Chains A and B, each alone.
Chain A
């Protein structure tokens, strides 16, 4: 960087700042398109929910206490990722890494619980092939799970980079997007929990 004049570096920094701002807006817009995606899946679920074809309905198969634990795991992970971001903002690198690792483990726990729930259903003969209701249930929940998996991969990359490299403001930018993503998935899950599980168990 030594061969640049200081003026250039300032303009460079400004450009990088603008890039970061653009990325943040772009990411918000991406999340909005993801909202549309989930909204479509919710609509499909709502339409196909009565289509049980003689098979089980939600009330027959949902294990509400189990899902409640799942939900708590994800909520706590949303909290810890926030703590990680906060630590990173104040430059406490080791704390940030620690909180991210905790979040990562909670995310894994959530996924494992979801998969075990799926496996249980399939073992009972209530797989996605059974009825339109189950098809839409599996697809909606698994799409959220897939997002969680992507988030975990992203988190892994961020953790590795934090461990290996010096902390840069671009890293902070990425981390705040990741935490945004994670909160977003949390909100989607709240909807899944209330619309799919709670309302499904009640009716």
Chain B
């Protein structure tokens, strides 16, 4: 009787689920401790109201962007810690019976590492940069749907909490970052791990899908007057490609995760080994999303580097039209290559040939972009600032990654690379050297825009060199290990193979990258501390695009009057025409969205929903779902969603900023 009540109340949650091994418990306690400390600090400094009004309920994309970036940085540290543990286990390799991680724990950690790095670091950083830069670069005050933007962020946040919950209660998936069935099915994985994985990704993924639609419409409909598509900054073009991919790819992920979850919850037979289910179907579906996902992440990085290289060469981007064509080509082609992730499934030579060749074809527009970037420096005045160093590092690592990618696109050769550490080295080459370096460049480049002071250059350069050395040491050995026949995801190996040395080198590489992270943290802290010395005006880099035409830091309304655009590099043109200090004769009222708490509430209810599904607590599931529905109905029928900023106030504020 009591058992029954407990089961109704708590589903399959029992006190034992809170018991963890020391490493996980440590991480869990640290996380909960940090949370408690943060709550205590906010209470002590009486900042709850400030937090609620200025951040949690804010619909200002500049603030939402900063929240994305903060969450992503914390998750980067988590994913980084995971990587350290994985490599430590492989270096020690159970020698003398010393087991840092059990096999199961090792597998949970690499699954978490991959999922977190893709969904909560790379995606989060990309959305953060979109929020901060895109509207301003297009000459707009806001995104197309500000409330939706808040919902997206809080869904992302909810997914992030769910993926970290196993540190405290239950276990995480041990099936890798894409959780292939049947390993991820009920038959081999009856615990909570895979459910955590599914619902974390599902909730964050829906947020991403909504964000994709939001930014796509923003780019199409919110551009400043005169900014035709072919006058858009190339970053906006890359965001257009990226969001178009999100719109086409993420619904596939939503379905795939839902079907896997149905298999686990109500005994359907989509991906089971019996009763007609097909695991191969899952693998096709997940990569039909997964490959475009790679380009969803890397296209924005391409855009960032296009802005960076033009600015620091003091010159127009080389081959704008080629760049646009390349982005469009990559966007379309990225949906035609997914099968190259499993040439080894036995699909037959004709099919493999087709997908192999399609994969190689993507290398052409990508190569064109690389040459255009390099030639942007041609007849320029190249300043080797930190963002520019990241650019140089990116070209080197990305070219190597491109070469190894083409090597694997030949199916018969891929049979020797597939699922080996060679593959692991390749995609880290693309995602660390491409996406992460891109976001680092973006961070140093746009930081002064939002703060009014620069990041310290010397610490930034030290961070870059640590990262570069770390990168070579961490991933170079993996290529060689691949040639040696070392597979990915093994928690131990026969010591007589002589692989340990390379794992040690790779481990040292991670330490160097960690040093880079420390330099970056120090850079931010030091720059904030010495912000007076690092203070700069609104255009510290002599930049080219519209986001630099606004005050630094930008006002809430960003543009007092929306600029009219006549050419590419609109701000550069304004500077040439000496129009940057022009002021209109009179200002008009500006309407901005009011704060909304519904986004936060929906996110929190989604978090509860996710936890309820994982633990089979059905009453909680119904309650949280009802909350989501009711809040959304209320939110979507509200009419008075905007506040007016009177013209007089704008005039006063603009005058104040002009005189400072």
Contact = CB atoms under 8 A, between A and B. Distances in A.
The answer to whether A and B touch directly, with their CB atoms under 8 angstroms apart, is yes
Interface of A: 4, 8, 11-12, 15, 18, 21-23, 25-26, 29-30, 32-34, 36-37, 40-41, 44, 47-48, 50-53, 128-133, 135-136, 138-139, 153, 157, 161, 168, 170
Name the residue among A32, A52, A135, A136 with the largest chain B CB count within 10 angstroms. Answer: A135
B637 A44 contact: no
A48 B639 contact: no
Contacts of A44: 255, 259, 270, 281, 285
Contacts of A15: 591
Interface stretch (B245-253, B502-510, B534-542, B603-611): B245-253
Given A22-B222, A34-B251, A36-B247, 12 more contacts: A11-B589, A12-B589, A29-B216, A47-B281, A51-B277, A128-B269, A129-B268, A135-B268, A135-B277, A139-B259, A139-B268, A157-B637
Interface in B252-269: 252, 254-256, 259, 262, 266-269
Nearest to B243: A29
Contacts of A25: 217, 220-221
A49 to B, nearest CB: 9
29 contacts: A4-B589, A11-B589, A12-B589, A21-B221, A22-B221, A25-B221, A29-B213, A29-B216, A34-B251, A37-B251, A37-B255, A44-B270, A51-B269, A51-B277, A53-B276, A128-B262, A128-B268, A129-B268, A130-B275, A131-B269, A132-B270, A132-B275, A132-B276, A132-B277, A135-B269, A136-B270, A138-B268, A139-B259, A157-B637
B209 interface: yes
A41 B275 contact: no
By CB atoms of chain B within 10 A, which of A26, A51, A170 has the most?
A: A26
B533 interface: no
Contacts of B248: 33, 36
Contacts of B252: 36-37, 40
B145 interface: yes
A129 B251 contact: no
Contacts of B277: 48, 51, 132, 135
A161 B270 CA distance: 42
A30 B213 CA distance: 7
A28 to B, nearest CB: 9
Contact of A170 (B221, B254, B639): B639
A44 B248 CA distance: 17
B650 interface: no
Contacts of A139: 259, 262, 268, 270
Q: Name, among A15, A40, A133, the residue most crowded by chain B CB atoms within 10 Å (CB to CB).
A: A40
B251 A33 contact: yes
**Nearest 6 pairs of A and B residues by beta carbon:** A51-B276, A132-B276, A135-B268, A37-B251, A36-B251, A53-B275
B274 interface: yes
B186 to A, nearest CB: 12
A153 B259 contact: no
A53 B270 CA distance: 12
A129 B267 CA distance: 6
Nearest to B639: A170
A17 B349 CA distance: 55
A53 B267 CA distance: 15
A22 B275 contact: no
Contacts of A161: 637
Contacts of B274: 53
Contacts of B17: none
Nearest to B145: A26
Contact of A22 (B145, B247, B267): B145
A128 B266 CA distance: 8
Given A37-B251, A51-B277, A132-B277, A26 B213 contact: yes
B278 interface: yes
A33 B209 contact: yes
A41 B255 contact: yes
A51 B270 CA distance: 10
A25 B144 CA distance: 10
Contacts of B637: 157, 161
Nearest to A41: B255
A47 B278 contact: yes
A135 B270 contact: yes
B278 to A, nearest CB: 7
B251 A22 contact: no
B98 interface: no
Given A15-B591, A131-B269, A32 B278 contact: no
A170 B259 CA distance: 37
Contacts of A22: 144-145, 217, 221-222
Nearest to B249: A36
Contacts of B251: 33-34, 36-37, 40
Interface string B269-288: 11010111110010001000
Contacts of A131: 269, 275-276
Contacts of A52: 276
Given A44-B281, A44-B285, A53-B274, A153 B268 contact: no
A34 to B, nearest CB: 7
B648 interface: no
Nearest to A37: B251
B633 interface: yes
A26 to B, nearest CB: 5
A144 B511 CA distance: 51
Contacts of B256: 40
A200 to B, nearest CB: 15
A147 B639 CA distance: 25
B629 interface: yes
Nearest to B255: A40
A33 B247 contact: yes
Given A135-B268, A157-B633, A161-B637, A32 B247 contact: yes
Contacts of A170: 639
A33 B217 CA distance: 13
Nearest to B246: A33
Given A8-B588, A11-B589, A153 B629 contact: yes
Nearest to B271: A132
A48 B281 contact: yes
Contacts of B254: 37
Contacts of B285: 40, 44
A47 B278 CA distance: 9
A133 B268 CA distance: 10
Contacts of B144: 22, 26
Interface in B209-263: 209, 213-214, 216-217, 220-222, 247-248, 250-252, 254-256, 259, 262
A154 B633 CA distance: 8
B634 to A, nearest CB: 10
A169 to B, nearest CB: 11
A106 to B, nearest CB: 22
A170 B637 CA distance: 10
Contacts of A36: 247-248, 251-252
Contacts of B278: 47-48, 51, 132
B626 to A, nearest CB: 12
Most A-side CB within 10 Å, residue of B247, B269, B278: B269
Interface in B192-220: 209, 213-214, 216-217, 220
A15 B217 CA distance: 16
Nearest to B276: A51
A53 B285 CA distance: 22
Nearest to B282: A44
Contacts of B250: 33
A194 B505 CA distance: 60
Nearest to B647: A8
A57 to B, nearest CB: 11
Contacts of B267: 128-129
A52 B639 CA distance: 51
